[in-house]
Structure formats: structure tokens, C-alpha cells
Structure 1
Amino acid sequence: MAMFPQNRLKRRGGMRIWGDTGDYMTDYPDLHLLIDGEQLSGDGRTSEEVINPATEEVIGTLPHATANDLDRALEAAQRGFHEWRKTPADKRAAILTKAAALLRERADDIGEILTREQGKPLADGRGEVAYSAALIEFYAGECKRLYGRTLVRPEGSRVEVQYHPVGPVAGFAPWNFPAINVMRKIGGPLAAGCSVIVKPSEETPASGIALVQAMLDAGVPGGAVQCVFGVPSDVSEHLLGSPIIRKLTFTGSTPVGKHLAKLAAEDLKIATMELGGHGPVMVFSDSDIDKVLDVMCDGAYRNAGQVCVSPTRFLIEENVFERFRDGFVSRAEKITVGNGMDKGIKMGPMANSRGLDNIQRLIAEAQERGGKLLSGGERIGNQGFFHQPSVLSEVPIDAEIMNEEPFGPVAILNPMAGEDAMIEEANRLPYGLAAYAWTQDAARRRRLAAEVEAGMLAINISSVSTVDAPFGGVKWSGYGSEDGLEGVKACMVIKAVHEG
């Protein structure tokens, strides 16, 4: 039974879901697993509560998959893989294109769900669903562009290089972007012809369920895309311990990524790992300082700083440091913080109490080390996980916040002597996900592109994510790419066929 039917309004469990009326949900939807096309909930399964981070109210109860459920999902993924890989490329493309259309139809409602469970402003939640639709639409086109190549040899022999889907995929997605991260886990595998079992975050489950349901409603076989939940370590060990799974794709922290990579290595499963970052922002004196401030201040507090590619370490050329510092603080103090469902809100709550406690600890430790707190630094109110947009300056490099990803609404502003010092600091950490630079010097831009150690570099812009470009890091920020052609090829294996 489709949870999100087209062209009609449906009630389920006393809650309005959605149709084509243009009305928004009045409640959070019922939660369930999606295994082999079937919705599973209750029936003695253990469960956990889902919390609205803006109110700290319980908004849902999420069932956990049992070991039998996971075994059933694995068996279905094996069958689903054989069915889906044999589906002609143009038909797979049509189905994924239809899924993109369904997501656009449902974007308002899914965006509201997303804001209720994750906290970000409603416009950002809806924008995330729109990006997810654009990504699966791009992948639909790639279904028909998975070319190999032919190598001509003497006397009529040849070598044909072919690409084949790797097999069933296990994907694990975090809570900070509940739609985009899930789509990255399912889109590439489905375009490649793989089946996929995705585990969205248990803190933000309904967004992931909605995306998987859109795939099913569009015509993806029930065994080819499934959604499970549970204790993360139990689910990952069960799925990765099965020989049925041939690829792991994970977004999350570096320590968890290292652990999962070890589990995958036991069976030589291939992996895509998008892990932590600590984004340096190099601001040179020849840049348009006001433009940099307008763009990057917003970027620093997007999603309350809970972004793996968030600009966090601002490395500012000394002769413009004071101007930049004062302008940044002024802008940070004007950011409106509140419930993401309310109009005019720029920054919602943090997603959970763990992040709130951690950001306060990091700010306090930075001050103990000699860093200056220029703005913010405090929790807002006593209901919801709200925190002030915060600014630290002149923080020594031995402070913990200079070495570990803060993942919260704080920016660190430090003066730097010049280009060499800025590149050295940008590359100092073992992380290399996203980096940013602002300069009008064309030669310097080329040097930065060559020397900055990051999987993605944004020069004079703030975005490192587009559906047709690879998204991924280097060093401790992981390996492999999502999005773009690379996101599909990461789910395929190469075969060389020699003919005489």
C-alpha cells in the first residue's frame, strides 16, 4: 500500500498524509520499515521515540528491524538486484524520472516533515527535497550513459571494457540532511542497476521513508529499494556481515566511518565514505570583503552549522582582519533563530542535545586556551535545542575546536600572515572535505586549486554541491564520490572482455 498516494487525500491512523490538495500535514506520519515493498511496524518490535528538536516533544515512534527482518531484506535485495539490473536502461530512466516528479509534487509536505524532525527552516527543508528530486532526475539520465569502450587490436581482435552493477548495496545516512543524504545513498545504486538497503538516521526517519516510498510508487521493485531502522551498530554489523551486500556507502563521522570500513574490508566490499570535515575559508585582501561577509556568514550558520562542508575556520589576511571580524560579528548577531516552522527564521535549533552540549564545551575550552568569544556562546531558552550563532577569534591551534569538527553554529576567525601561511593552515588537519577561497588573483586561484588538500574547493562562491559534480573528500574525510557520473560509477565494477 502506497503511503503517499497521488491525486487524492488519504487518512491513515487518524493523520492526514498528502495528496494534491495543497494543504500541509497537521501531524507527523506513522513510521514503519519498508521491506520487499511492505510496510512493517509494531508486531512486538522494539521501538524508539522521535523528538522534535524545536520543542523537545515526542512526535513519533519508530520500529526497529529484527534480525529476521534484516535477513528478509537481504534476501529481497538479492532478488531485487537480479530483477532491476535486467530492467532496460530506458525503463529504469523513466521510473527514476517519475520518482523525481513525485518528489516535486510532495516537496511541501516532505519538507514540513523534515523540519519537524530535524529543525532546519521550512524553506531549507523544502529546498532539500527539491535538490533530491534534481539528483534522481540527473541519475535517470545517467542510466542511458553508462558507456564502456572498445580497444581495437590487430587481426580483428579487440578488447571491450564493460561496466556492470556491483550488486546489492547497504547505505547509511545521517540526520543533518535527511533527504539529500538518503537520496545520495539510493540514487547512484539504482541508476547503476543495483539494489539498495538504506538505513536513514533514527532521529530523522520520516524523510527517508518518504523518499524510498516515492521510488516504490514510481515503479522501482520492492526488493530493489528498502528502508530499515534499528540500533546502528546492530544493523551495520548484520548487513555488512552478509555476503549478499557487495558495497557500503556511508555518510557520517570519521571514527564511525573507520569502523564500518573495517567491517566492509572483512569481505572486501567496496566502499564510498563521506566523512567529517573542518572547512577552511581563505580570505585574501584583494577580495570583495562585503560580498564575502554576506555569503560566508550565511554559510557558516546554515543548518545551525551542522553541515559536513560547513565553513568553520576563517583564515583572514592580516591587513583586512579587523574589518572582516567586525563585519562578521555584526551579521551573525542579526541572524534570527527559532522554530523552523515559523516565518522569518534563518536558523533553527540544533538537531539534538548532544550537539548542544558539545558546542558549549568546545567554546568554553577555546576560551580557556586564550580564544576570544566575540558573540554568542550561550544556549537560547530552556525548551528546544537552540544555540546562539557564535563567533570566536584568535583561537590558538592547540584548542580542540581548531582540530575537531565543531558541527554547530560557531565560526572561528583568525588573522594570517599571507598565502603560504593560509595554505599551510588549511592543509594542517587530517581532514580534506571542502575548502573555500576568496581572491581576485587568477594566478593565486590556480595555485590554490593545485595545493589545497580537499575533495572540493569553492573559489569566490559558497557552494560545493551540484547534482552533476562529484561530492567527496580526501584524507580522513573519506574516499569515493557521490553525485555526478562518479556517483554512479562508484556502484559499478569493471570487466575487460578480450576477443580474438
Structure 2
Amino acid sequence: MKMLINGEWRDSVSGKVFLVHNPATGDVVGEAPLGGEDDVRSAIEAAGEAFADWSARSSRDRGKVLFFAAEEVRRRNTDLAALLTAEQGKPIREAVDEINGFANILEYYHALSAGERGEFMNLGGYGRVTVERRPLGICGAIIPWNMPAIIMGWKIGPALTAGNTVVLKPARTAPLTCMKLAEILGDAGLPPGVLNVVTGPGETVGREIARNPGVRKVSFTGEVGTGRQVALDAAPALKRLTLELGGSDPMIVCDDADIPAAVEGVVRGRFYNCGQVCTAVKRLYVYESIADEFVRRLTARVEAIVVGNGMDRGVGMGPLNNRAGLERVVGQVDAARDRDEGEIVTGGQAPRGEAYERGHFFLPTLIAGVPHDSVLFAEEVFGPVLPIATVPGLDEALELANNSRYGLGASVWTHSADVIARATEELEAGIVWVNQHLRIPPEVPFGGTKASGIGRENGSRALEEYMEEKAVLIRL
């Protein structure tokens, strides 16, 4: 697989490659060019040359390309999902859903493309005013390895629909599916140079995208420290920024909740994609009056999850994507164990057996009775570990839920209209779910508060993030 610049698949300037490994087996899945700063500059030059023609097209014509690409993605779903599982590790059914999700996003922005319009006002003595919306120019997209297809869609969907050109950097441990999706977009009619994909390290490829003055906007998804560096690198050119920087989502289960439904909500919300989701349930607060029953039911359900290679039938949770992520999760659990911060109800270690020896596996883990100042609550745990605390009621639950530097998502499980009204008002998060968690359709604006970032992806709002306004006042 080669990088895509100006519609051509080419090697990096260095001529070097890096290998992509299956996180379940350690086997080599493929290779990608080890790109560098010169490759990014070539991609930016190609994007600049392509911008005039692409931005001059009607939004409807641009949207048609996305629609045709979505059709082809759906047709090739099986192969794309297998590739995604091989490089990322998630169970094949989750990979199928993610590939379909990418197609959903393209179809959504195709639908929006038919209704693009500006504003008109008659202001009497001031004259007539039109407000035009125009694309920014070249946009950079830096995406992570946990949900590469979905997050690629979140970034390129609105950017391309708005008339921008894009330089995309996939994650080093999961670049292959993104490159295939870019190839499909080209086959669907996306002109050369409109979407360029440069693979390589974040410290060279990512930083050049963030620093290069030819890039007008950068959209980054990743951890807080890297997001701060992206903001610093982009600051001299006063670039537009969208930063989605992770979260530590609380889930509050009230005493009137549907317990079986809430248990399933925890299982999906925490252990989907091996817990490697920014909006995963990462802190669980359960009312004291139902805590024993809830934890008992949840434990039985979690212990039924089959851990293994995502391509194997019946597997409910695959490995973590990379060794560094596994080591961090192990370190966080060990730190909590050493400090006697709660009781490990189930899990807490890697599964045993020959089938797991070469992969980055960790058992789905529940830790009950976790003190409120535990490292498991203070840090984002990006893996299949769930700390649980009990609360006497809503006041303490909301206080603890908001006691975090993060503010990405949160959920409350209840049938009380009063509790719903208060929780949705007071929870400090960019998205609040009621009696559900994790799902984000493309119509819904997505982003966070506090350290979880700035800007929004998804929805019609995302188009505005990729456009600038020009007001024209006419007095005849």
C-alpha cells in the first residue's frame, strides 16, 4: 500500500516503510510508507492545486461523489471490515458496523449538500445584506486508531462537502482501511489532489500538517497532551481547530432504572471495541439501594463475554490495539491494586492460554467500591476496565460525575422526568444520553467541554466548522 498524493499512489520520499501488525496474533497485516515532512508538503501542494476546481463545483455535485463512494463502500463492506479487524483488533461484527457507519456519514453529507444556502436580510437604511459561506481551503485531518473509518468520515465528510481539500494522516497502527476508503473515493469521482493520505509518525507527519501555513484548519482526535501540542503548532498561523481529546464518561444508574437494560448499557458502553472509545462508559455511579443486585447481574454478564481474535465466531471482545495501550491499562489496574482502591470483582489480568500469548489481550474488568479519589476515576482508562462507586442519591452522583477534567459524554438511567431534567441540565458534557450510551448518529453534533476539546463534528454544524462567512452589504 502506498500513500495517496495528487491522485497517485506513491512511495515516501525516504523510500522506507513501516509494518502494520494484527493486535490479536502479532502477524504482519501489511505495510505503509514511512512519510515525512517533504511528503506532507507535496500533499499540501497537490491540495492547493486542486482547491480552485473542487471549490468551484456546486455542493450538489460534490455531494454526488460522496454518495457514489458510499454505495461502493457498502458493496465492499465484507472485505473492508475484515481488513479493519485485522489491523485494529475489534470483533468482525463491530468492524462491519463501523464500515457501514462511514457510508452513513457520506450519505448524510450528500443529503446536506442539496440544501446549501446563504442568508439574505433587508435592513432598511443599511441596505440589503447577503451572508455567503465559502470553504476555508486546505484542511488537515489527524485521526486515531480506535475508530479509524468512523473518525475519517467525521472529518472528510463535512470538509469535502463544504468545498475544501484535505490532507489526512491515519494512525500508524491502523492506516490500511483509511487508505482503501480513500481509494474508493477516488474511484467514485473525487478529483486528484482533493483528498491526500500521508502515512507516518505523528511527530513528523502530524506536526507538519499542524504547522504548515498552507493548511487553514486542523481537525485532530486523540489524547489531551498531543492535542495541546497540535494547538501550539497551529497557533502561529491562527488556524481553525477542532480538537476531540478524549473523555472519562460517567454513567449514573438511579434506583428506578430498568436494571437489565442498564446492565446491557454498561456492557456495550464500556467493553465495545475493548473499551477503546472516547465516549465509552469509564466511571459507573450506582445508587446504593440497588448496587448489590446491579453489580451481581453485571458481573455475570461481563464474565460471559468471549475474548479472542476478532475474526473468530462468537468473540465479543478483541485485544487492545497496541502494546503501549495494554501496558498503560495494566499499570493503571496495578496502581489501583497496590493502593487498595476497590475490589476486583472479575478480570484484572490478561487471559491465559496459548491463543492469547502473541496478542494485546486483557480481560473485561470490574472493580467495585472504588474510592472517589482513585487513579481509575482521575485518569482516562482507555481499555476494558470499569471502576464502580455507589452513591446515596442524585446530588452526590452529579457532583462526582462533574468532578473530572473531562467533559465529553455522560448518561443517566432513570424513568423520572424530574431527574432527567436536572441531569441533562447539570451534567458537564458535550453529549448527554438518557437510558442509553455511546451511540452517535451522524446528525448529532459531537464534541466536548473542558479538557475534552473544542469544536464540533457531525451534523450540519460541522459544515460551519469548515467554512467562513462573508457579509456583503448593498445599498442601491
Give the TM-score category using the shorter length.
over 0.9
Count how many residue pairs are aligned between Structure 1 and Structure 2. Answer: 470
Query: Which residue is 1:211 aligned to?
Result: 181
Query: Which residue is 1:471 aligned to?
Result: 446
Query: Which residue is 2:240 aligned to?
Result: 270
1:44 deviation in Å? 4.8
Could you tell me which of 99, 108, 112 is aligned with 2:82? 112
**Residue pairs, 1:233-382, within 5 angstroms:** 233-370=203-340, 371-380=342-351, 381-382=356-357
Q: Deviations over 1:39-77 (max 9, x none)?
A: 012775222111100101222222122433222111111
- For 2:12 and 2:218, locate their aligned partners in 1 and report how far apart those are by CA, in whole Å: 28
Q: Name segments (4+ residues, structure 1) moved above 3 Å.
A: none
Query: Which residue is 1:428 aligned to?
Result: 403
Query: Which residue is 2:461 aligned to?
Result: 486
Q: Deviations over 1:83-107 (max 9, x none)?
A: 1100122211211110111111111
The amino acid that maps onto 2:242 is T
Query: Which residue is 2:419 aligned to?
Result: 444
- For 1:174 and 1:87, locate their aligned partners in 2 and report how far apart those are by CA, in whole Å: 31
1:415 deviation in Å? 0.3
Q: Deviations over 1:317-350 (max 9, x none)?
A: 1101111111111111000011000111100111
Contact map agreement 1:390 1:409 (CA 8 A) in 2: yes
- For 1:213 and 1:353, locate their aligned partners in 2 and report how far apart those are by CA, in whole Å: 29
SS at match of 2:148: coil
Contact map agreement 1:375 1:391 (CA 8 A) in 2: yes
Alignment root-mean-square deviation, CA: 1.3
Q: Deviations over 1:386-427 (max 9, x none)?
A: 111100011123321111111100111110121010111111
Q: Deviations over 1:251-278 (max 9, x none)?
A: 1001111110111111100011111100
SS at match of 1:298: helix
- For 1:481 and 1:363, locate their aligned partners in 2 and report how far apart those are by CA, in whole Å: 32
Contact map agreement 1:281 1:311 (CA 8 A) in 2: yes
Query: Which residue is 1:8 aligned to?
Result: none
Contact map agreement 1:183 1:211 (CA 8 A) in 2: no
Question: Is 1:191–2:161 an aligned residue pair?
Answer: yes
Contact map agreement 2:13 2:36 (CA 8 A) in 1: no
Q: Which stretch of the first structure deviates more once superposed, 150-159 or 238-247?
A: 150-159
The amino acid that maps onto 2:414 is T
1:314 deviation in Å? 0.5
Question: Is 1:395–2:395 an aligned residue pair?
Answer: no
Query: Which residue is 2:100 aligned to?
Result: 130
- For 1:241 and 1:202, locate their aligned partners in 2 and report how far apart those are by CA, in whole Å: 20
Query: Which residue is 2:46 aligned to?
Result: 76
Query: Which residue is 2:3 aligned to?
Result: 33
Q: Deviations over 1:96-123 (max 9, x none)?
A: 1101111111111110000000010111
Q: Give me the TM-score of the superposition, normalised by structure 1.
A: 0.92
Q: Give me the TM-score of the superposition, normalised by structure 2.
A: 0.96
The amino acid that maps onto 1:333 is E
Query: Which residue is 1:153 aligned to?
Result: 123
- For 2:183 and 2:135, locate their aligned partners in 1 and report how far apart those are by CA, in whole Å: 23
Percent identity of equivalent pairs: 35
Contact map agreement 2:6 2:46 (CA 8 A) in 1: yes
The amino acid that maps onto 1:46 is K
Question: Is 1:50–2:25 an aligned residue pair?
Answer: no
1:163 deviation in Å? 1.2
- For 1:388 and 1:458, locate their aligned partners in 2 and report how far apart those are by CA, in whole Å: 27
Contact map agreement 2:141 2:169 (CA 8 A) in 1: yes
- For 2:211 and 2:325, locate their aligned partners in 1 and report how far apart those are by CA, in whole Å: 31
Contact map agreement 2:47 2:138 (CA 8 A) in 1: yes
Which residues of structure 2 form unaligned runs of 5+?
none
Which residues of structure 1 form unaligned runs of 5+?
1-30
Q: Which stretch of the first structure deviates more once superposed, 62-71 or 319-328?
A: 62-71
Q: Deviations over 1:401-458 (max 9, x none)?
A: 1111111001111101210101111110010001011010112111111110000111
1:354 deviation in Å? 1.1
The amino acid that maps onto 1:237 is R
1:183 deviation in Å? 1.4
